[in-house]
Each structure stands twice: as C-alpha cells, then as structure tokens.
Amino acid sequence: MKEISIDRVEPSDYDVIVAGSGAGGLLSALGLSAEGRRVLILEKENHLGGVWYGYHVNGYRVDHGLHVITRVKRGAFARYLTKYLNPPPRFVLHEGWYFQVYDKVGTIPSSIGQTLRWPLTGMRGRLALVKIGAKIKTMRLDEMRKHKDESFLEFMKSRGATNQVMLDVMQSAIYMAAGVPINEASAYEALRTLRDTDKETTRLASLRKLLFGSEEYDEGVAVGGMESLVQRITETINGDYVLNAPVESIVESEGQVSTIAALDTEIPHPRVVSNIPLSVMPRIVDSEQAGVNQFFEKWSHMRPTRGITLWLGLDKVVIGDLKSRVIVCPRPNRWLVSLSSFDPSCAPEGKELVAIAMMFIEGKTVDEQVQMMKGNGLTESYPDILNHIEMEHVQVSYATRAALIPGQTALDRPGPRTPVKGLYIVGTDTAGEGVGLQQAANSADGVIAAIKADAQF
Ligand SMILES: Cc1cc2nc3c(=O)[nH]c(=O)nc-3n(C[C@H](O)[C@H](O)[C@H](O)COP(=O)(O)OP(=O)(O)OC[C@H]3O[C@@H](n4cnc5c(N)ncnc54)[C@H](O)[C@@H]3O)c2cc1C
C-alpha cells in the first residue's frame, strides 16, 4: 500500500473504501486484499493504526499502550498475521500473570491442585475458589450468555463467592479486559475472559486441565513492537492510503451508500467500510431516512474504556524478566511489564524499557496518576528503580471503544451491516467477540464475510 494525496484518488481503482485505519480497518483491508480486492484508506490522523501503533522516544521504542496480546497462537488476530504476513511476526510468550497481594505473589491457578496451594489466601478462600473456578471453567457459553445483563460481582455474590482477596484478584484481571470494575462489568464477558485464560475448546479438555493444570500461556509481546506489526500489515495491503484526511460525510441515497467525502473532495463509491467510532457516526452519516438516523443515534452512546500508560527508560536492567505483574494490594490494578526483556530492540543496549499501565481514574490529574503508578507498589518490589529513570513518557487514551458492560457486550453490539446498503461498520464497538485486537479481528472477519455475501463485484 502506498500513500497518495487526495487529489490523486481515482474511485474506480478501488473495490472498497475504508474510513479509518484502526486495527479493525487495517485488518479488514488486509483480508480484502487477500481476496484480491483493492482498497483505499482515508485516515484522519498522520499515522495508520488508530490506537494501535508505536513510535520512538529518546532512543526507546514505545507502543501506544502496553500491549501483551492475548492469543498469539490461535484466534482471529493470530490467523490474520500467520495467514497473510510472510514470514509471520514473532511473539515472545510471557511466563504468565503474577498477582501481587501485599508481599505475596501468585499466578492464576489452572488446576484444583494449584488452587489448593494458592498463596494469596487462606484455606477457606482456596476452597471457595476451587468451587467457583470449577464452575466457570466448565460452564457452557449458552449458560454464560444468560448473565450478560448482570454484573460480575452480582454473579459471584449470588453463588456465595465473596472471599475478598479472590474478588480483588479477579477485579484486577477483569479490569484490564473489560475496562470497568467488577460491579459494572457484564458477567457474561467476565466469565468468558476468565475462561479464555484457558486455551481449551472443549468442556472435557477444560475439565482435564482443571484436574491436571497447565503451564502454557498463549499470550505474548510482538518482536518489533506494534510499529512493526502495523508496518508489515500496511506493506501487505493492496491499495493506497491518504493521511490527515478526516472523513466529513458518508452519504446515503435511495438506501445505498453513494459518496464519501474528505478534505472537501467527494468520492463517489458504492462500498464503504467505516472504522470511525460509532459515537461519531451520527455526525458523519448524511441521510434523510429516519431508520438510518435512528440506527446511528442508537449506537452513539457506546462507552469506551480509558487507560493510562507510563513508560520508563532505565539506565540499567532493574527488573529483567518475562513476567506480567499485576499489583492487586495495597494499591490495586497496576500492571507492570519489562518490555525490553521480551524484545531487547526496544531499548538501547544494557538498558531497560518498562511499562506500567492502569485504568484512567476520572477526577484525578495525569500527574497524580503518574505518582500513583510510581508509588509504593513499585518501590516495595524494586526500591532503587526510581533512581534509574532516564526516559519518562505518559500516554492517556481509550483502549477499546465499548467497555464490556451490559448493553455493550459482544451480544449487543451492532454490525457488520448497517441499514445503508454497501456501508459496513468495523472496530471494537461493533459486532465481534473478544477484547482489543482479538475483537477488532473478529469484527473484521464479520465485515469481510458480509461484503463477500453481498458483493456483486
Ligand atoms: C493503552 C492501550 C493498551 C492496549 N493493550 C492491548 C492489549 O494488551 N491487547 C490487545 O489485544 N489490545 C490492546 N489494546 C487495544 C487495541 O489496541 C485496540 O482496542 C484496537 O487497536 C482498536 O481498534 P479499533 O478498530 O476499534 O480502532 P481505533 O483504534 O479506534 O481506530 C479508529 C480509526 O479511525 C480514525 N478516524 C476516526 N474518525 C475518523 C474520520 N472522521 N475520518 C477518518 N478516520 C477517522 C482514527 O484516527 C483511527 O485511526 C490496547 C490499547 C491501548 C490504547
């Protein structure tokens, strides 16, 4: 794919126009290219990838957000990379999640035996965890679906699972995925997230794992970072892109998409994939039909998740391991990873790049939150760490466009079709299971299938 200016766009050169180049837009374009289609991407910002990209700060290569990708061996996102990129990107798997409760550290127990030895709580808590853990790991998806409009905390309480340490650990795990605390997260999505730490696809396999455990994780960091993933995808897509080109309108005429406009240029085209957040779409879609306007108004309320990431470049290696640590107590929900331990190319030789992430706390300033992230949870484990900082960089951003709350679960979200023929929607606020990049990939799958089914091209 190459960059062009808007005055060079020849609409008949393209089978599909993609508005917005976030993960959903790029993966749709990648899949369509593999089907032999040519695409044009119109992107508002001066880079491709949306919230999924990387860049350099004082000799360190940072990602936009701490990305440890869940499922790098299977699932829709991995399929896009392994099927369409040659050679496929490399991932370094982490050693697992390490939850720190005061001075104790424990992983997510994957078997009954491990649960009974779990160091984070006493025997009563462990027995409660065995009971609820067995229930969750062997629960069928259709059973989980019944709980989509209930909060996870309500679900746990209704089953007598009230051990505080267990709830705190689950809160930390689910917070990162759902973007909200467990009293708001949809029980269906939380249950699915907890089950997804399990790689097994059958109930029998889950049961076997429950009994015998497993040390394997399907989660890792991309070698080359997000920058290299986005760049490799961009190189593989068949088509062109225009940067700094905010789409101003997508026009419906007689039930069909007719024109897309950016930079005062109208581009007539019958097939548009929109990766623009649904919250913005009522201002973009130009239609006289009440049904069309109601559809986009209805979904304009989607509530995003918001995160804050602190990148620290250290003048020597202080942490240096492949763990993914979540600090649960005394100060909750801080996630800490030494990125350069996975991929040394992101830091100058002999130095270390560390990322700390947490959900953004509304009502507190960015500076206050940075101080929280540097706070005791960190220095208790690494007393000297703050003396070795030579680069410090903060990012605040939405991570996904629909928090996993009732009304916004995978079962509720709209798409890939809209009431306008030829206009499809993709992204983390549209139909498709999972969170983050998996969700974007699943939604891209939906768009490609719908275009193929509807296509007369
Ligand atoms: C802090 C952070 C940490 C994360 N960690 C992980 C992780 O560990 N694992 C994981 O799987 N995922 C993670 N993610 C999530 C993942 O990166 C995102 O969920 C995903 O990339 C969002 O994809 P999207 O398709 O919804 O697109 P978005 O990123 O929302 O992209 C939308 C695109 O549309 C463009 N646009 C908007 N309006 C217009 C317009 N009018 N005209 C043209 N273009 C427009 C935007 O500029 C953007 O490029 C993280 C994200 C962040 C920010």
Domain stops at, among 216, 243, 266: 216
pLDDT at residue 103, rounded to an integer: 82
CA torsion through residues 121, 126, 129, 133, sign: positive
Q: Confirm whether 157 is domain-assigned.
A: yes
Domain count, the chain: 3
Residues 250 and 273 in one domain: yes
User: By alpha-carbon position, which residue is closest to atom 31 of ligand 1?
Assistant: 22
Which residues have CB under 6 Å of ligand 1? 19-24, 42-45, 50-52, 64-70, 246-247, 275-277, 280, 307, 309, 397, 399-401, 427-428, 436-438, 440
Q: In ligand 1, which atom is closest to the CA atom of 401?
A: 26
Residue 441 CA, ligand 1 centroid: distance in Å: 12
**Six-digit token pair at 122?**
């006493």
> Which carries the bigger pLDDT value, residue 76 or residue 135?
76
Containing structural domain, residue 441: 2-55+225-303+403-454
pLDDT at 456 over 80: no
Q: Confirm whether 73 is domain-assigned.
A: no
User: By alpha-carbon position, which residue is closest to atom 8 of ligand 1?
Assistant: 67
pLDDT averaged over every residue in the chain: 92
pLDDT at 259 over 60: yes
Show the DSSP H helices in 179-333 as ranges.
187-196, 203-212, 225-236, 281-284, 290-298
Split at pLDDT 50, 70, 90, the class of 288 is very high
pLDDT per residue as tens digits for the range 164-192: 888 888 888 888 888 899 999 999 999 98
Domain stops at, among 190, 216, 242: 216
Q: Confirm whether 74 is domain-assigned.
A: no
Residue 288 CA, ligand 1 centroid: distance in Å: 30
Taking the C-alpha atoms of residue 367 and residue 394, their distance in angstroms, rounded to an integer, is 9
Among 361, 318, 316, 349, CA closest to 336: 318
Q: What H or E segment, with its residue span, contains residue 242?
A: strand 239-242
Entry pTM: 0.94
Q: Confirm whether 230 is domain-assigned.
A: yes
User: By alpha-carbon position, which residue is closest to atom 2 of ligand 1?
Assistant: 65
Residues 37 and 124 in one domain: no
Q: Confirm whether 62 is domain-assigned.
A: no
pLDDT at 301 over 60: yes
**What is the arithmetic mean of pLDDT over 430-444?**
95
Q: In ligand 1, which atom is closest to the CA atom of 22?
A: 31
Residues 409 and 295 in one domain: yes
Report the CATH number at residue 29.
3.50.50.60
Report the CATH number at residue 393.
3.90.660.50
Residue 49 CA, ligand 1 centroid: distance in Å: 7
Residues 42 and 151 in one domain: no
Pairing mode, strands 104-106 and 97-101? antiparallel
Q: Confirm whether 94 is domain-assigned.
A: no
User: By alpha-carbon position, which residue is closest to atom 18 of ligand 1?
Assistant: 436
| Cβ partners under 8 Å of residue 247, min gap 6 | 19, 20, 42, 44, 260, 261, 262, 274, 276, 284
Residues 293 and 407 in one domain: yes
Residue 398 CA, ligand 1 centroid: distance in Å: 8
As to burial, measured by CB atoms within 10 angstroms (0-12 exposed, 13-18 middle, 19+ buried), residue 248 is middle
Residues 297 and 410 in one domain: yes
Residues 415 and 290 in one domain: yes
Residues 240 and 275 in one domain: yes
Q: In ligand 1, which atom is closest to the CA atom of 67?
A: 8
Q: Confirm whether 83 is domain-assigned.
A: no
Domain stops at, among 354, 369, 398: 398
Residue 386 CA, ligand 1 centroid: distance in Å: 31
Q: Confirm whether 69 is domain-assigned.
A: no
Residue 61 CA, ligand 1 centroid: distance in Å: 19
Residue 400 CA, ligand 1 centroid: distance in Å: 6
Residues 383 and 424 in one domain: no
Residue 381 CA, ligand 1 centroid: distance in Å: 32
Residues 363 and 412 in one domain: no
Q: In ligand 1, which atom is closest to the CA atom of 26?
A: 25
Three-class SS state of 116: helix
Residues 230 and 275 in one domain: yes
Residues 356 and 423 in one domain: no
Token look-up 């070698």 returns: 223
